C-alpha cells in the first residue's frame, strides 16, 4: 500500500463483465416485484431455482448462501462491481504486494477454521466458522468500498453484525475496544516469510464502532462463500472507513480495556490513522482523497464524507 504503484489490471474489457450484472439485475427485478426476501412465494415458479435462491429462500438447506438481502442496504448510488474484477484486484500483503493475490492463494487453507474471542468478556470462546455461519443471523448487504489508495468498488457482502457476536461473549463494562488478528502461516502466505511487515496483520475498532449498525463480519460475497483473496473465511467490513481497516482472514478477536495499536498506523503513522475514516477533505500525504476511481469502469466520482454513511456513523465522532 504505502510502497506500491497502482497497476492497470483493473482495465478488464467490458465483454468479460457478465456474471454480477446478471446477479444485480435479478436482485433488482425481484425487488421491483416486491420479492425482497421471503415474500411472493406464489410467483417463484416463474423464476426457476436460481431466482428462488436470490429471493432469500434457500433451496440447498445445507448452505447458508445466499442469505436474505437486507432491504435497508439493497440499493446503492452505483452499480455493483463485477466479481471478475474485484476477485482479481485485491490487497492481501501476506501473499503479494501487488493486486494479483489470486495467483498466490493455492496453498492457503481456509478450512477448517476457528476464531477465538477472548479478553475483557464474560463468555470467552472458540467458534468454528461452520457453526457460526449456521447459527449467526446471516444477511446480505450492498456496500460502497473505498480504499485509501483512492480506488472504489461496490460489493454485496454476506455476513453478520459484529454486535451479534459481542452480545454472545458479553464484553465487561471495562471494555473499550476490539482488536482483531489475521492468521500467521508463513508456509502458506509467502510474504509472511519476509520481515518487511510486523506480521500477523492486526486491526482494531472502538467498542462503539464494533457495535455499529454497519459493522459486519463477512463470510460471503456475491451470494457465495468468500474466496481466499477477499479474506476467507471471515473478514471485517466497515464501509465508512478506508479498506485497510477491513482485516481479512481473522483468527482472533480480543476485547480490550485500552486503545490497541493497528498495523498500518504502526508501519506508517503519517499516512494511515487509527480511525481510517473516509474523508475527502483530508488528503493522504502523497495524494488527494477528494475523488475516487471505480475499478471496473475507470469512472471518477467525488468521495463522500464517511463514504456516504454519515447518518449511521457521524454521531460517533462528535
Ligand atoms: N487484511 C490483511 N490481513 N492483509 C492485508 O494486506 N489489506 C487491506 C484489507 N485487509 C489487507 C487486509 C486493504 S489495504 C484493503 S484495501 C482491503 O483489505 C482489500 O480488500 P479486498 O481485497 O477484499 O478488496
Which residue among 6, 85, 89, 91 is best mutated to probe the pocket of ligand 1, counting the most ligand atoms within 8 A of its Cβ? 91
Residue 252's pLDDT band (boundaries 50, 70, 90)?
A: very high
Q: What is the whole-number distance in angstroms between the Cα of residue 141 and the centre of ligand 1?
A: 19
The C-alpha cell at 74 is: 439493497
Residue 60's pLDDT band (boundaries 50, 70, 90)?
A: low
- Decide if pLDDT at 32 tops 50: no
Mean pLDDT within 266-294: 98
Residue 24 — φ and ψ, nearest 5°?
-70, -40
**pLDDT of res. 140:** 98
**pLDDT of res. 24:** 52
- Percent of the chain at pLDDT above 90? 80
Residue 124 — φ and ψ, nearest 5°?
-65, 160
Q: What is the whole-number distance in angstroms between the Cα of residue 87 and the centre of ligand 1?
A: 12
Which atom of ligand 1 has the smallest separation from the CA of 148? 16
End-to-end Cα, the chain, rounded Å:
29
Which atom of ligand 1 has the smallest separation from the CA of 236? 10
The full DSSP string for 25-70 is HHHHHHHHTT-SSS--GGGGGGTHHHHHHHTT--SSTT---SPPBP
**pLDDT of res. 27:** 52
The full DSSP string for 113-165 is -EEEEEESBSS-EEEEHHHHHHHS--EEEEEEEE-TTSEEEEEEEEEEEHHHH
Nearest CA to ligand 1 atom 14: 244
**pLDDT of res. 191:** 98
Mean of the per-residue pLDDT values for the chain?
A: 87
Q: Are 68 and 56 in contact (CB under 8 A)?
A: yes
Domains and CATH numbers, the chain: 67-317 (3.90.420.10)
Helix (H) or strand (E) holding 292: strand 291-294
The C-alpha cell at 213 is: 449498525
Amino acid at each position: 500500500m504505502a510502497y506500491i504503484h497502482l497497476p492497470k489490471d483493473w482495465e478488464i474489457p467490458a465483454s468479460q463483465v457478465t456474471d454480477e450484472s446478471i446477479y444485480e439485475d435479478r436482485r433488482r427485478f425481484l425487488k421491483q416485484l416486491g420479492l425482497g426476501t421471503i415474500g411472493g412465494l406464489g410467483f417463484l415458479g416463474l423464476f426457476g431455482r436460481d431466482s428462488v435462491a436470490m429471493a432469500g429462500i434457500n433451496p440447498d438447506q445445507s448452505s447458508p448462501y445466499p442469505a436474505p438481502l437486507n432491504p435497508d442496504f439493497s440499493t446503492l448510488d452505483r452499480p455493483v462491481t463485477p466479481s471478475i474484477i474485484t476477485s482479481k484486484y485485491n490487497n492481501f500483503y501476506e501473499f503479494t504486494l501487488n493486486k494479483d493475490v489470486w495467483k498466490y492463494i493455492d496453498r492457503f487453507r481456509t478450512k477448517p477454521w476457528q476464531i477465538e474471542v477472548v479478553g475483557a468478556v464474560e463468555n470467552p470462546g472458540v467458534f468454528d466458522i461452520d457453526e457460526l455461519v449456521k447459527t449467526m443471523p446471516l444477511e446480505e448487504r450492498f456496500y460502497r468500498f473505498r480504499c485509501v489508495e483512492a480506488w472504489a468498488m461496490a460489493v454485496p457482502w454476506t455476513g453478520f453484525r459484529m454486535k451479534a457476536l459481542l452480545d454472545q461473549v458479553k464484553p465487561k463494562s471495562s471494555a473499550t475496544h476490539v482488536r482483531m488478528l489475521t492468521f500467521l502461516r508463513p508456509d502458506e502466505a509467502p510474504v509472511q516469510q519476509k520481515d518487511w511487515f510486523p506480521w500477523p496483520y492486526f486491526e482494531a475498532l472502538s467498542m462503539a464502532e464494533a457495535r455499529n449498525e454497519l459493522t459486519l463480519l463477512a463470510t460471503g460475497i456475491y451470494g457465495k462463500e468468500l474466496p481466499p483473496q477477499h479474506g476467507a473465511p471471515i473478514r471485517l467490513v466497515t464501509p465508512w472507513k478506508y479498506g485497510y481497516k477491513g482485516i481479512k482472514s481473522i483468527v482472533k478477536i480480543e476485547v480490550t480495556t485500552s486503545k490497541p495499536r493497528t498495523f498500518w498506523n504502526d508501519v506508517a503513522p503519517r499516512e494511515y490513522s487509527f480511525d481510517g475514516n473516509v474523508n475527502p477533505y483530508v488528503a493522504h500525504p502523497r495524494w488527494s482523497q477528494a475523488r475516487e476511481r471505480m475499478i471496473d469502469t475507470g469512472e471518477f466520482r467525488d468521495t463522500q464524507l464517511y463514504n456516504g454513511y454519515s447518518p449511521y456513523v457521524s454521531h460517533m465522532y462528535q
